[in-house]
A = this chain, B = another copy of it.
Amino acid sequence: MQEDVAVQRDHVGSLAKGLAVVEILSRAPGGLRLTEVAELAGLTRAGARRLLLTLVAEGYAEQRERRFVLSAKLLSVARSYIGEASVWSYATPILRGVSEALGESCSAAVLDGEDVVYVARAAGRRIVSVQLAVGARLPAYCTSMGRVLLSGLDAAELAGFLEKASIGTNTPNTVTDRQALAGLVAEAGRAGYAIVDQELEIGLRSIAVPVRDRAGRICAAVNVSTQAARFSCDEMHGTILPLLKQAAALIEDFLALQ
């Protein structure tokens, strides 16, 4: 309670309200009228008008007849923010956020031939943890990220992959039947995630989601790998999946500007 009061004291309400107006405009590509903005922002017309006129004066919005629309300036400021960063250097702190929230390893990979290749990672803090570095390769058919990435192939590509891939039995849980694998990949595509349960290595369970580029194609995957003893499959779905989806979305924001 005391903390709330302190936060309140150092909070500039006009700035917060102005940012809320920016967000409202950002969701309205056709622009909004003053009254619409006021309603959506929960402000009086006079208050909303001041904020809108300030945004116009500062170059963030434009007034076109009776509508206010965001200008390209915000895009330009965002470009300035990401500068020359590559997607994977940009993504690493995002993965680290997930990793720290869970204490587990969080990684990103792309598909390369029959394998997934790790392109970014944040290590978990546990002693027993996944030890895969950037550049490491694992077979796509029996890894969560591989399943997700394969779900982005078209039917002919996937059929070709399954026909040619070297498929071995790593553990008693490994699915090796190529038809069954096709089904698991399709399921990953439909569900928007894949869980692989001790198929690569006994004790290793992981969950992955896709990362899509601006054109909507799956171009990478992000995952969390844990010891099977620590998270059940249900817990992965309930606890980890939302964090991964959020991370993927943040990376996709970056990719949208490429």
Interface residues, chain A, with chain B CB atoms under 8 Å away: 7, 10-12, 14-19, 22-23, 25-27, 29-30, 49-51, 53-55, 57-60, 70-83, 85-87, 92-94, 110, 112-113, 115, 117, 119, 133-137, 214-215, 249-250, 253-254, 256-258
Nearest to A77 among chain B residues (CB) is B26
> Can you list 12 A-B contacts with CB-CB less than 8 angstroms, sorted by A residue number?
A7-B57, A10-B53, A15-B15, A29-B80, A29-B87, A59-B112, A74-B78, A75-B81, A75-B135, A75-B250, A76-B249, A79-B256
Contacts of A214 in B (CB 8 A): 92
- Roughly how many angstroms separate A94 CA and B215 CA in the complex, as a whole number? 12
Known: A10-B54, A26-B77. 11 other contacts (CB 8 A): A10-B53, A11-B53, A19-B60, A74-B81, A75-B82, A75-B117, A75-B134, A76-B249, A78-B257, A82-B256, A92-B214
Least CB distance from A71 to B in Å reads 6
Interface core residue of A18, A60, A85, A256 (most chain B CB under 10 Å): A256
Contacts of A136 in B (CB 8 A): 76, 79
Least CB distance from A87 to B in Å reads 8
A18:B12 contact, CB within 8 angstroms: yes
Partner of A15, one of B18, B81, B135, B256: B18
Partner of A137, one of B76, B85, B110, B249: B76
- Roughly how many angstroms separate A18 CA and B22 CA in the complex, as a whole number? 13
B80:A26 contact, CB within 8 angstroms: yes
Partner of A55, one of B15, B49, B57: B15
Partner of A59, one of B26, B54, B77, B113: B113
A16:B58 contact, CB within 8 angstroms: yes
Partner of A50, one of B12, B58, B93, B112: B12
Nearest to A59 among chain B residues (CB) is B113
A50:B256 contact, CB within 8 angstroms: no
A73:B26 contact, CB within 8 angstroms: no
B59:A70 contact, CB within 8 angstroms: no
Contacts of A11 in B (CB 8 A): 50, 53-54, 57
